[in-house]
Structure 1
Amino acid sequence: MTLVELLAEADERSLAASGLACLDRCLPLLVDETDVLRPLWAGIAEGEEGWAERLAEARAALDAAPDPGGTAAPVRKMIGAAPSEWAAGPLAEWAAACSSLALELHQELDPAGGTQGPLGGGEQRRQIQILKLLARTPDGAGLRRALDVSKAGQRVLRAALSRRARAGG
């Protein structure tokens, strides 16, 4: 299945987790502390009851993070756009936007460029893997595995940013 098809078939929990995972993988552009979204992952586990409150906490934490170079603006914008309502329609729109943002950012940073480079292609594979994991495992274990995949993606992006900085741009 394609990424678009997987997003179209996802339930609220999977949509929220997919969108959050995309932003989570982009965090190295924003903050050194990459566990800032961890409470929101807990909000997904709680479902509708925990989502809005945890979302407000995550927004406040990201708003407080410094952004001297302005590189974090797209990530902040996407967390700001996250719907407080736990409903398939708004969550699907947000998850699709987060997916596009993550793919775009990874492609821009990819030395080979495009979706077939190591960063762009890897990001697309991680998005598909997370959606499939969540569809197969509708319990907390699926969320935990999705978080693990996302953290691995963070490490890849952090390494790419480090290489880029050493190379001078």
Structure 2
Amino acid sequence: MSLLELIDRADERSLAAAGLACLDRCLPLLAPDGGDVLRPVWAAVARGDGEAWGEAVAKARVELDGVDAGGVAAGLVREMLGAAPAEWVEESLRVWAAGCSVSALALHGRYEAAEVTDELIGRCRAGDAAGAGPLLAGELRRQQAVLESVAHGPTGLRRARELSTEGGRVLRAVVSRRARTA
């Protein structure tokens, strides 16, 4: 099933987890040491608690607002967090999760050896990953795995967090390697 189909069929919890997982994987581009900032947001997703979700998202925004990081990548991560809906409403979460998906793929594409176009990102989301490099293809697989895992209940959410942690480490390593060779 394509990423677009998975997002279309997802419920509130799956959508919140999908968007949050994308944000979590890209967070090192904004705050390399900010891993715990999103922990309360993950807890709200685990409980399916809309009120706690809104409070946790607001708190994360405040905490990350003070991070002094510039550049296009950090700006896109800020936009992902800024676009997180304050209310636990399916349609708002769907729009946010879809936007986070595109942003995360675009951010990963920035660090590929070959040029990644909007067309390639669109094809990947629709199920055609031909031409995607390893970083982009890995992010696509993680996004699909998160949505598939969360559909299986609370144990799936644990798997989604593991995938996000792994993806964040991969992205951090790629950025670090690129900085050393620049």
Residue 29 of structure 1: aligned partner:
29
Q: Which amino acid aligns with 1:42?
A: A
**In 2, Cα distance between the equivalents of 1:10 and 1:58?**
24
SS in 2 for 1:164: helix
Contact 2:51 2:87 in 1 (8 A): no
Deviations along 1:54-73, whole A, 9 cap, x unmatched?
11111111112111445311
**In 2, Cα distance between the equivalents of 1:11 and 1:138?**
11
Q: Which amino acid aligns with 2:180?
A: R
Task: List structure 1 runs of 4+ shifted beyond 3 angstroms.
Answer: 68-71, 112-115
- Are 1:79 and 2:95 matched, yes or no? no
Cα 1:7–1:27 change in 2 (3 A) is same
**In 1, Cα distance between the equivalents of 2:31 and 2:97?**
21
Q: Percent identity?
A: 54
**Structure 1 residues 16-165: aligned runs within 5 Å:** 16-33=16-33, 34-47=35-48, 48-69=50-71, 71-114=73-116, 116-135=132-151, 137-139=152-154, 141-165=155-179
**In 1, Cα distance between the equivalents of 2:32 and 2:100?**
20
| TM-score where L is the length of structure 1 | 0.93
Q: Indicate the larger mover: 152-161 or 111-120.
A: 111-120
Structure 1: 5+ residue runs without aligned partners?
none
| TM-score where L is the length of structure 2 | 0.87
**In 2, Cα distance between the equivalents of 1:59 and 1:149?**
23
Aligned length: 166
**In 1, Cα distance between the equivalents of 2:141 and 2:72?**
28
**In 1, Cα distance between the equivalents of 2:73 and 2:150?**
30
Structure 2: 5+ residue runs without aligned partners?
117-128
Q: Deviation at 1:154?
A: 0.5
Q: Indicate the larger mover: 10-19 or 36-45.
A: 36-45
Q: Indicate the larger mover: 86-95 or 103-112.
A: 103-112
**In 1, Cα distance between the equivalents of 2:12 and 2:91?**
9
